[in-house]
């Protein structure tokens, strides 16, 4: 599918101006300079009751001006205005559905099961691509064709799109990424190769808060992450966002992923820091010992089974 132009899409809601309402990215030529097709990019948007944000998300994908786009929207059976909005943009979507799912990871996996592109990425229905993001990724891939993923900077923005901060990736090798508290990056700014996704086995559907972190570690075991200079996306920070509303559960997921990938020391260090902020020297040693006793034995007891590990880890966190 060729990206539509601004004039092709439904008019923006009253009062909406700028990107992606009255502005569009500069379109690429129909063919690459060598006469070949542009690489197909498959974007999946999972959504559930995000009617407040989803129209902007859809438009930031559709107005990228990329000549070979595959856009798949997986709605989890929303009861707000989301389906009405998605239906307005259905002529420009490769596939969309609104039906119950087992959560965000399941929705994303279902979406990529229908994808046929060479480059994959997902964009949550409250996040945004910046103008020219896909053009930038295509250029990065041309310069780093053997990379398994390409990652740039990401703005954190308010619900009305005021910039709060700019997040830049740091260490991108597997060991650096495992230290997620220091070397995290923001998910919308990372696109990855389709072969890498399939080799990694997609997302672990038992994870609901750190499934992206788990995927990055699996991908980093397969190849390199190429750094892109520049901002690709914006992540919307609002109280209802899952990573804001359920941060303790997200932290439990992160610790579990570190343990599963063999980074026990990092997991315990993260737990100790979390429970001793601000650091109190007399407390630090006592808490550290308790956490080490609690965490060190739990991984062998659950035998690597997520369904058993996460509830027990949550109990450990709550007990301290």
CATH number of residue 202's parent domain: 3.90.550.10
The answer to whether position 3 is within a domain reads no
Residue 288 counted as domain residue: yes
Residues 96 and 189 in one domain: yes
User: Would you call 92 helix, strand, or coil by DSSP?
Assistant: helix
Structural domain span for residue 90: 41-238
Q: Report how far residue 167's alpha carbon sits from residue 231's, in angstroms, rounded to the nearest whole number.
A: 9
For residues 68 and 171, state if they share a domain.
Answer: yes
Alpha carbon 268 to chain centroid, angstroms: 25
Tell me, yes or no, whether 111 and 180 share the same domain: yes
Residues 288 and 309 in one domain: yes
Residues 253, 214 share a domain:
no
Is a pLDDT exceeding 50 seen at residue 309? yes
Which letter, b or e, does each residue of 282-305 get, where b requires 16 or more Cβ atoms within 10 Å of its Cβ?
eeeeebbebbeebbeebbeebeee
Boundary residue ending a domain (199, 214, 238): 238
Instruction: Please list, in sequence order, all residues whose beta carbon lies within 8 angstroms of the beta carbon of residue 310, skipping any fewer than 6 positions away.
Output: 206, 252, 253, 256
Number of domains in the chain: 2
Question: Of the residues 218, 238, 258, which one is the last residue of a structural domain?
Answer: 238
Check whether residue 70 and residue 206 sit in a common domain: yes
Both 304 and 220 in one domain: the answer is no
74/189 same-domain check: yes
Q: For 244-301, how does the pLDDT look when each residue is reduced to its tens digit (9 = 90+)? A: 445 667 788 888 899 899 998 888 887 766 655 554 444 445 545 555 555 555 555 4
pTM, to two decimals? 0.87
Same domain, 156 and 250: no
Distance CA 144, CA 55 (A): 33
pLDDT of residue 208: 87
Query: Both tokens of residue 174?
Result: 């597997």
């Amino acid at each position: 599918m060729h990206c539509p132009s601004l004039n092709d899409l439904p008019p923006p809601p009253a009062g909406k101006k700028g990107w992606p309402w009255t502005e569009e990215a500069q379109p690429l030529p129909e063919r690459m300079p060598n006469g070949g097709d542009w690489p197909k990019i498959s974007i999946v948007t999972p959504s559930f009751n995000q009617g407040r944000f989803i129209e902007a998300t859809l438009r930031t994908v559709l107005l990228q001006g990329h000549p070979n786009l595959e856009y798949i929207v997986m709605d989890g059976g929303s009861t707000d205005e989301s389906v009405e909005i998605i239906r307005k943009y259905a002529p420009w979507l490769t596939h969309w559905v609104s039906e119950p799912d087992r959560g965000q990871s399941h929705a994303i996996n279902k979406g990529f099961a229908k994808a046929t592109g060479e480059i994959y990425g997902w964009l949550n229905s409250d996040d945004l691509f910046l103008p020219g993001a896909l053009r930038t990724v295509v250029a990065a891939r041309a310069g780093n064709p053997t990379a398994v993923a390409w990652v740039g900077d990401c703005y954190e923005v308010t619900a009305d799109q005021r910039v709060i901060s700019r997040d830049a990736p740091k260490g991108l090798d597997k060991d650096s990424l495992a230290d997620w508290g220091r070397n995290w990056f923001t998910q919308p700014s990372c696109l990855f190769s389709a072969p890498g996704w399939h080799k990694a086995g997609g997302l672990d559907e038992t994870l609901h808060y750190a499934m992206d972190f788990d995927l990055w570690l699996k991908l980093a075991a397969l190849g390199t992450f190429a750094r892109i200079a520049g901002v690709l996306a914006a992540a919307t920070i609002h109280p209802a966002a899952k990573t804001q509303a359920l941060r303790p559960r997200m932290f439990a997921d992160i610790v579990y992923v570190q343990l599963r990938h063999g980074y026990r020391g990092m997991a315990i260090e993260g737990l100790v820091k979390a429970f001793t902020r601000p650091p109190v020297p007399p407390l630090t040693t006592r808490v550290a010992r308790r956490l080490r006793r609690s965490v060190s034995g739990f991984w062998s007891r659950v035998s690597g089974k997520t369904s058993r590990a996460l509830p027990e880890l949550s109990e450990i966190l709550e007990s301290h």
